[in-house]
Every structure is written in structure tokens, then in C-alpha cells.
Amino acid sequence: MNYNWDWGVFFKSTGVGTETYLDWYVSGLGWTIGISIVAWIIALILGSVLGVMRTVPNRIVSTIATVYVEIFRNVPLLVQLFIWYFLVPDLLPENLQEWYKQDLNPTTSAFLSVVVCLGLFTAARVCEQVRTGIQALPRGQESAARAMGFKLPQIYWNVLLPQAYRIIIPPLTSEFLNVFKNSSVASLIGLMELLAQTKQTAEFSANLFEAFTLATLIYFTLNMSLMLLMRLIEKKVAVPGLISVGGK
Amino acid sequence: MRIVPHILGVAIAAAALISTPVSAAELTGTLKKINDSGTITLGHRDSSIPFSYIADASGKPVGYSHDIQLAIVEAIKKDLNKPDLKVNYNLVTSQTRIPLVQNGTVDVECGSTTNNAERAQQVDFSVGIFEIGTRLLTKTGSSYNDFDDLKGKNVVTTAGTTSERIIKAMNADKQMGMNVISAKDHGESFQMLESGRAVAFMMDDALLAGEMAKAKKPTDWHVTGTPQSYEIYGCMVRKDDPAFKKAVDDAIVGLYKSGEINKIYAKWFTQPIPPKGLNLEFPMSPELKKLIENPNDKPAPEKKA
């Protein structure tokens, strides 16, 4: 295959202002991290609430959470993103719609769509993990708390959740990494995160393989460090004798 | 073994004799590959209206560039004396087109690919097949008629295009405070314009005419503004394969010399086109006329507005 390799391409000028291609990657990485962190906070809070809802002894409450999970887990992420980006703004009242579409910076509106989309999507998955975490605990935990006179919120807050979270740290870690990888859908609604900048670099420079190789390395390094960080947290919060840590 | 050189000599002489009749058509590179496999693979697009796009359920491409591509196939059939040459179609996107030509999946790609210096590092371009200006699509009767009217406004363009580069550079150089949105394809760019997210859509004028033709009410929109650059589209072939490039070039120049190109142009730009039967009403520009008179494979000269 006759391809002209040029690894120096990242230091070349993009022709836009004084930026080099490397500057684009740096700003893209910033957006990727920003989207992922905000979406993860939404997912963790909402997912925990839903996870608790699925386990409480109340049919209606647990059904609501189940319906939520099935809807958000079974519709493709990209379809959900297009709904949030193209459809939902059109449902706003007329004057709010105009402000949202024209006066609000397009990057801001794309950012809002993507964090809401990714947050709600991931919440469905976090919910399932919180639920399994709670259900994995021995029934005696809840019964003992009840016998000691704890109210339902207290049982969850003081007894069940602190143990459940510790159990589910490993699957929660992969969900956390998924958020970073899934954040690349933002490139399809014009938000210049890491993948969008990579594609732009590939198009402008015609050095496609270099562009995507660098992006691969950045995603890999980012996710690898996050994984190690989560490992560390898991060790730090471990309760001796409760569960084994790090698979060892 | 004194006899070896003799045998070798005879063999060489014989080989030379045998090969003499076909030496004029000594095949190398892509031509040899096409000849040996009996197939040629064409790269095409799916939504570059009216250059190369899919208009019906058959999945076969149609369009101006596609007709040129078919003329190339006819010429190669004649060159290789292979009337039953099989044609394979391979859909490409703006991200895949260059690597697929390079790695041999696609033999020739005719779509809406601008010939520029960066791409010429990776592939060779045929003689130019079209020339466009980068302009704006805005609402008819709105106050946005040229680039100066766009200060502080939302402007959409398609990611990975020359227009994206030009408008971002213009925004930085002239400090116009525009919000440039990069949509993933022309269809989505137009959607951003139609839904009011952007006041103008910057793109190649011929493609803008194509998008306009797809609109709910085409008369609501118009192509406007001073062209910020001129660009020449070419067909892409593998680098350093002069024989194949010459075959492609000769076929295209043949269309220009015979005047056949005018018929192809009229078919796609001044007559109703599939799938909706809309007429783009896009007469041939003086730039394209000049290119057809003097075919060449150079990128368009840089023009700073």
C-alpha cells in the first residue's frame, strides 16, 4: 500500500489561526473529559436512585424504574442523541425554542444534549448494577437493620448502599470507562471532542492513519489511568473481611 | 556449462520476439490488475447530489461524476479489449475514500473530491471534472446575503470539507465571532439551517443547489455570497501508476473533446434529476468552461478573498 507516513503532521499548522493539529487534540481531549465527567455525575446520581427504586418493597415504584431501564437500555445511543438534539428542542415553547436555537452558543446546546443523553443512557446501566449490588447482600442485613428499628431510608443509606457500592466498584469502573468511549457520539452533532478533532485532522492533513493512531493512544492511556485510579479507590474503601479486592 | 548462456540468450530473444506484439500494451499496476481479474471497482458516494448519490432502492449510484466514471470504464474496456469487464461498486465516505484507493479496494473514485496539495501527497488526481465556488445557502429574503452579514451568527458547514477550513480561518483572521457548527454530512447541515439552528450553510455551490432541491420548499432558499475559494474536483487513482492515470485522463479528455460532457452536464444540472424530479437550474460556470477547454490535473489556484 503506497501511503506517505508523516508523524510530524501533529506539529504542522492547521491553517486556522496559529493552531497546530496537536492543539486540536488537546482541546478535543478537554471536551471529551468534560462531557464524560458531567454525564457520569448525572448517571451515578440518577442510576443510584433508580437502583434503589427497583429494590424497594413497592410494586409501582419498582415498575417505574424497570420501565425506565428497558427504554433507555434498548434504544441505540445514537438514536437517543438525535432525539435529544433535534427533536426535544422543537418541543419547547416558541420563544424558548428561538433562544435555545439561535442565541445560545451552538457548542453549549450540543454539550447539553450530549451530557443529558449520555447521563440518562448510562443511568439505566448504573441502575442495574446498584440493584444487583443490593440484592447480592445477605437478606439478614436488611432484617437486622429493621429489627434495630431503622426506617427504610436509613436501611438503604446506612446499611445496604455502603456495602452495595463496594461490591459493584469493578463493574461500575467499566461503566465509567464506557462513558468516556461513548462520549465520541458527540462528534456527530458538531461538538469538537477528541474523535471530531481526529476526523478533522485526518481530513485536513490527509494523514488518516497518524491521526487515528494518536487518538487510539490517547483513549487507551486515558482509560488505562482511570482504571488504575478506580482500582486504587477500591482498595482504599475496602472493609477488611467484607469482600476481596482487585480479584486477588 | 557453456551452453547456459546460449540457452539464456535464445530464451531472451524468444521472449523479446513473443512479447513484441503486445509490448505496446505492456500492462502494469492497476491496468494489469483489472485485466487479470476482469473486474474494475468504482468508488462512489451516497449523498453527493448531483455528483454521486443513490437515488433508488437498487443501491446503484447515479450522478454527474458517476456518468464520467462509466465513460472511463467504457474507455478501459476498449483499451484492454475486454468488452465484458465486470464493474464492482464500493461505497466510500469522506473518511474512507483515500485509504480505500490506496489499499487497492477501489480502483478509481469519482464523487465530489477536491484536488488539493494534502491529498495529492496520498493519491493522484485525474484531470479536473468540475469546478465549484464555496458560497452560502440562506433563507430567501433574509438579511444574510454575504459573509460580512454573518458576524456573531451561527453558521453551519459540513465536517471535513474545505469550507470548514476556510470559514474557521476567516473567523479567526477577521475576528467575526461566528459560531461555526460542523455537521456530520450535507443532509444534517441543511437540517441545522432548516430548523433555524444556523442562519447560513457554507459549502460548494453545486452541492448547495443539490441540498436546496431536496428542501420541503426549494424556493425558500437561495445560494448567495462571494465565492471564498474555487475548487476543482477530480477522480482519485492510486499514486505512481502513470499508465492507469493516463487511461483515466484520456477517457475524461475524450468526453471534453467530443462535447459529450455538455450532454452529461445538462442531464444533471439543468434538467429534472432523480429521485424527486427536481431541476437544479445550475448553469455551467465560466470556470468550468475554462477547465473543459484546457483540461489539467492541477488544484485550483489559491484565492484569498
List the grid coordinates of B209: 443547489
Average pLDDT over residues B176-201: 91
Per the CB < 8 A criterion, the answer to whether B212 and B218 are in contact is yes
Q: Which residue of A has its CA nearest to B240?
A: A2
What is the pLDDT at residue B199?
A: 95
Per the CB < 8 A criterion, the answer to whether B108 and B72 are in contact is yes
What is the residue-averaged pLDDT of chain A? 93
Per the CB < 8 A criterion, the answer to whether B158 and B189 are in contact is yes
What is the pLDDT at residue A110?
A: 93
For this complex, say whether ipTM is above 0.85: no
Q: Of the candidates A16, A196, A199, which has its C-beta nearest B169's C-beta?
A: A16
Say whether A106 and B95 touch across the interface (CB within 8 A): no
Say whether B181 and A1 touch across the interface (CB within 8 A): no
B302 to chain A nearest CA, in Å?
13
Q: Which residue has the higher pLDDT, B120 or B7?
A: B120
What is the pLDDT at residue A39?
A: 98
Using an 8 Å CB-CB cutoff, list chain B residues near A203.
Answer: 94-95, 159-161
Say whether A190 and B118 touch across the interface (CB within 8 A): no
What is the pLDDT at residue A127?
A: 97
What is the pLDDT at residue A118?
A: 97
Give the H/E segment covering residue B5. Answer: helix B3-19
What is the pLDDT at residue B304?
A: 46
Q: Which residue of B has its CA nearest to A193?
A: B182
Q: Which residue of A has its CA nearest to B155?
A: A106
Q: Which of A32-41, A192-201, B179-188, B245-254 has the lowest mean pLDDT?
A: B179-188
* Percent of all residues in chain B with a pLDDT value above 70, rounded to a whole number: 90
What is the pLDDT at residue A244?
A: 53
Q: From CA B268, how far away is CA B279, in angstroms rounded?
A: 8
Q: Place A193 in a pLDDT band, splitting at 50, 70 and 90.
A: very high
What is the pLDDT at residue B4?
A: 56
Q: Which of A182-191, A217-226, B273-282 has the lowest mean pLDDT?
A: B273-282
Q: Place A62 in a pLDDT band, splitting at 50, 70 and 90.
A: very high
Q: Which of A117-121, B47-51, B86-90, B224-228 has the lowest mean pLDDT?
A: B47-51
B196 to chain A nearest CA, in Å?
7
* Contacting A residues, span 208-237, partner chain B, CB-CB under 8 Å: 208-209
Q: A114 touching B, CB under 8 A?
A: no
Average pLDDT over residues B194-207: 94
B262 to chain A nearest CA, in Å?
32
Q: From CA B247, how far away is CA B254, in angstroms rounded?
A: 10
B55 to chain A nearest CA, in Å?
24
pLDDT digit string (tens) for B149-175?
999 999 999 988 889 989 999 999 999
Q: What is the pTM of this model?
A: 0.82
Average pLDDT over residues B273-284: 89
What is the residue-averaged pLDDT of chain B? 89
Give the gyration radius of chain B's Cα atoms. 23
